[in-house]
Each structure stands twice: as C-alpha cells, then as structure tokens.
A and B are shown apart, each in its own frame.
Chain A
C-alpha cells in the first residue's frame, strides 16, 4: 500500500519534471 503510494508519487513527479524540462527547452528555442 505504502509502496504503491510512493510509486504513484514517483511517476507523477517524474512526468512533471519531464514536462518542466520540455517547457524550458521549448521556451529557449522559441526565444532564440
């Protein structure tokens, strides 16, 4: 149970970080 909740947090966290990196890269490209 606890392990699964940590798993959900890890997945949501990983996707959020990935989206932030993607937004950042796109912002750099569009300004450049």
Chain B
C-alpha cells in the first residue's frame, strides 16, 4: 500500500524534476536569443515560470522526506514524474502555435522523451530554432536519462538483459550506483555530442549551409541520431539534406547510439574484444545483415532504383534506421507501402520489432533477448539430438561468460511476450480505426519499439483515442513495462486493501 511517506517522496522528487526542466529551458532560450526569436523566448519563459512555481509548490508541500529512497518509491517516481514532466514540457511547444491541440503537443513531447520520433507537429519546415532545439534536447536528454533510470530503478526486476549487466547481487541503496552509472553515461554521451555535432556540422557546411545553420543542424541531427530518436528539423527528415556523406555520418552515429552503454564503457576502458564477442552485437549483426539483404533484394527485383548505389544507400539506411529504432527517413512515408511493396514493409516491420541493444536508447525486443532466444533454439535442438541422459551445455558471452540457464530464457521471453502483446493491441486498434492492415502493423511496431518510422498513419488527423493509445504504448515500451506493471500492481493492491 502507498503510504503518506511514499507520496511525500514522489511529490518531492517530482518537484525537483520540474526544477530541472526549468533549468533546461535556458538552453532553447539562449538559442532563441541567438536567432533573434523574441516570441519564442516569451513561450519558454512562460513554461519556465510554470515549472518553477509547480516544482517549488511540490517541494515545499512535501518537504524533504527523511530516510533513504526505497526501490518502490523510486519506481513510483519514475512513472509519475514522466507524466508530469510531459505536461510541463509541452507548454512552450503548444504556445508556439505549431500544434492542433495541447494533447498533440504532449504526444510530441512523449515521442521525444521515449526517443520514438513520431510527430504531430504542423508546418515543421517553419519551426523556430528555439523550439527545434527544445524538441531535440528532450529526445537527447530523455534517452540518456532513461538509461540511468533503467540501470538503477528497473534493474531489480529485469533478468532479461539489464540484470546481466548490472550483476546479480545488486545493492539496494540507489545513490552510489546512480551517481556512478549516470556519470559514466553522461561522459560518453557528451564526448560523442561534441564529436557528432562537429562532424555533421562540417558536412552540412560543406554541402552549402551557412556556418551557424550548419552547426544547429549538426547538433539537432546528432541529438536525434545518438538517442535513436529520429526527430529532424524538416518534414522530409534526412531526405532534406540530399547528401550521401551526411547520411553515412548519421548512420554511424545512430548505430553507435543503439549500442549498450555497458559496451561503450567496456571498449573505452580497454576491452575492445567485446565488440566482436558480445552476444548482443552478434545478434544485431546477423539480423541487420539478413534484413538489409531482404529489402535490397526486394527493391532490386521490383526495379525501384536504376542505379545500384541508390538502391543500397536507401535500403541499408532504412533497415538500420528501423533496426536501431531511430526512425530517420530518406524516402517519403508513402513511398514505402506504395513503391517498395509489402515484402519490404514486412522486412522493416521485423527490424523495428527486433530493435537495438539493452541499456541503450533503442527500443524493441533488444539484441540480448533475440540472442538468448536464438541460443535457446539451438540448445533445444541439440538436446533433441543427443541421448536423454546426456548433459547439454550452451555458453554465451555478454560482458562475461555465462552458461545458458532457464532464468535467462524466462526473463528474455517475458519481456518479448509483453512487447508482442502491446504490439498486437496497438495494431488491432489501428486497424479498428480504419487503416489498412499492413500500414497498421508497421505503425504499431514503430510506436511499440520507439522507432518513429511512419507510413502516414500518425498525423494530426488521426483519431484522438489512437493518439492517446500511442502515447501509452510509447511510454510502456520505453519503460520496458516494469514501472507500468508496478503502478498497475499498486492500484490493484490498494483497492483490495480498502
């Protein structure tokens, strides 16, 4: 049962999150001043005021709770503060006049936080620099913050991937591990932010953009790539740049962004063999190569592109964008079902469902679970082939050597099952709203796996209940269902007690 102490802790922590949001709004304000967008400055100052007043009220009312923050309180805070943060972050977006309703602005903020990339924003090509910075910043920070959350709060209940990384006997005290993990993640992210902005900015400058604009585009696209978010400052997404070097640079960064932070940490501290031995990367390499060849084969057979270079430039980019759950597009949304055909659509949908790596900003099943499922399949086949009395042992490497056990498989299949159920519910609701089956499957996979590719279903004109469902699906998928299950569990538990 939720005690008064729990509520005070959740309120106090949520208040502090709102203070953090107010501080963050300084960044778009600085960009808006540099770009001389005075109306945008006013929008963000309004948002900042609401965040400061709301945050202060919660902090004063709830006061600082005594004692340590427990795991359940942390989990509740994770669930609640995300929803409150969504509403407050949507204020400057909504004030910009680029959204049909406040709900649409909330949808885009949740899409950013969860690094999905589906948008309901209107007239994206004329959005201010300040608001574009805000959208991409939310995606970048939401993504990195989520990993800190996943590795600390959620790790306890997740044997399917995270627990392997954080170790079995995890300390119940949160602070030391939070500080250590958060610091490592931010160092890696900030180093890559500098490198990525420089590389993409230089490419954009070389392609003819003025230096200030090239810097902004470099920063925005890097933030969206690294967080596997998929936002872009133009309606045409990455197609807008019409630049092969820009696409290749973006691809390198979103593939790196889809890697497990444990892997970055291992490589940075000298364990470079992990790049080859890691089960998760092996699974990603196997599935991404297979699906790229499938889509390239389909495009070739259908004669969609005359030049071979164009064909694999488009095919590899789209498959990797789907597989890493980034959602960048170098084709128009209607081109995929129309020109590329159903089989390519299936290939991309499968890539989105499989997803990137655990402990990264990517969504989907995640490589480690796909790898464990494949290992299990091989293990079971081997067991069938040997005498019943023989002992079959299957090993795998995931930061250290493991022997495949039932609990690994159970954890992996549990999350994969929840993903599948959520995907089916979202797809069925989309079909019920009147969209074609293939389009519905594609869009549902995109929302559930936090991808952001679209065939045109997600638009301001879609029914309100589908927008609301997609918000919930993105949130649940991003939190890997655990915080959602805890919140539901609390609701049921309380009702029984009353």
Q: Which residues of A contact B (CB under 8 A)?
A: 3-4, 7-8, 10-12, 14-16, 18-19, 21-23, 25-27, 29-31
User: Whole-angstrom distance between the alpha carbons of A3 and B268 in the complex?
Assistant: 6
User: Whole-angstrom distance between the alpha carbons of A25 and B340 in the complex?
Assistant: 19
Q: Looking at A14, A16, A19, A29, which has the most chain B CB atoms within 10 Å of its CB? A: A29
Q: B267 near A29 (CB under 8 angstroms)?
A: no
User: Whole-angstrom distance between the alpha carbons of A16 and B159 in the complex?
Assistant: 32
Residues of A within 8 A of B248 (CB): 19
Dominant secondary structure of chain B at its interface with chain A: helix
Q: Is B195 an interface residue (CB 8 A)?
A: yes
> With A3-B270, A27-B312, A30-B299 given, can you name 15 additional A-B contacts, CB distance below 8 Å?
A8-B192, A8-B195, A10-B267, A10-B275, A12-B252, A15-B252, A15-B255, A15-B256, A19-B248, A19-B251, A21-B289, A22-B320, A26-B311, A29-B300, A30-B311
User: Total A-B pairs in contact (CB under 8 Å)?
Assistant: 69
Q: Which residues of B contact A (CB under 8 A)?
A: 191-192, 195, 248, 251-252, 255-256, 259, 264, 267-270, 272, 275, 285, 288-289, 292-293, 296-297, 299-300, 308, 311-312, 315-316, 320
Q: A4-B191, A7-B272 are in contact. Are A23 and B256 (CB under 8 A)?
A: no
Q: A4 near B252 (CB under 8 angstroms)?
A: no
Q: A12 near B312 (CB under 8 angstroms)?
A: no
Q: B268 near A26 (CB under 8 angstroms)?
A: no
Q: Which residue of A lies closest to B265 (CB)?
A: A7
User: Whole-angstrom distance between the alpha carbons of A19 and B321 in the complex?
Assistant: 13
Residues of B within 8 A of A4 (CB): 191, 268
Q: A31 near B293 (CB under 8 angstroms)?
A: no
Q: Which residue of A lies closest to B269 (CB)?
A: A3
User: Whole-angstrom distance between the alpha carbons of A28 and B192 in the complex?
Assistant: 33
B17 to chain A, nearest CB (A): 30
User: Whole-angstrom distance between the alpha carbons of A31 and B191 in the complex?
Assistant: 40
Residues of B within 8 A of A25 (CB): 289, 292-293
Q: Which residue of A lies closest to B294 (CB)?
A: A29
User: Whole-angstrom distance between the alpha carbons of A21 and B407 in the complex?
Assistant: 36
User: Whole-angstrom distance between the alpha carbons of A31 and B293 in the complex?
Assistant: 12
